[in-house]
Amino acid sequence: MKYLFTPWRWEYIKRTLKKEEGCVFCLAQKREDEEAFILYRGRHNLIIMNIYPYNNGHIMIAPLRHLATPEEAPAELLSEIGLLLQASLRALRRIFSPHGFNVGMNLGRSAGAGVKDHFHLHIVPRWEGDSNFMAVFADTKVMALDVSRVYRMLKPVLLEEIKNLTTPD
């Protein structure tokens, strides 16, 4: 038998033992940034790490308000999402040099939304060949870096990119 050691999973196991009820994005806002893996709190939105990432650097932009769809959102909230998307892409490019990105929203359970009542934008860095046999044969995703390390790498670069944002005239 071969062992794949993943000591960072212990934090996940502890959280599942005392799982809080409610919206993951609303609950995260009540905690300290580092504990909740919040990279940035804007005027209308936050940028948060996906703690169950598809790939290293998988982040999400979510409104501070509990809104189910973008149709419910005011223009300034949606505008800020666009600016935060720009800064996020730039920061992820600087750190990880991905070959591409998946960017999108799953709106509603039938569309694959894990959090169906609080819309959010996924940003997933992608590399050629980032899928391998482990996912196909062992139903296992191999991650090169743990979420805590990615958080520490990404936060200062993302904050710098946000600081450099310019708004249209």
Q: What is the side-by-side strand order in the sheet with 45-49? A: 38-41, 45-49, 59-63, 121-126, 100-104
CA quadruple 130, 151, 52, 10: dihedral sign:
positive
User: Of the listed 58, 66, 99, 120, which one is catalytic?
Assistant: 120
Query: Is there a catalytic annotation at residue 58?
Result: no
DSSP annotation of 90 reads H
Nearest Cα to 94, choosing from 15, 164, 153, 29?
Answer: 153
Q: Which residues are catalytic?
A: 120
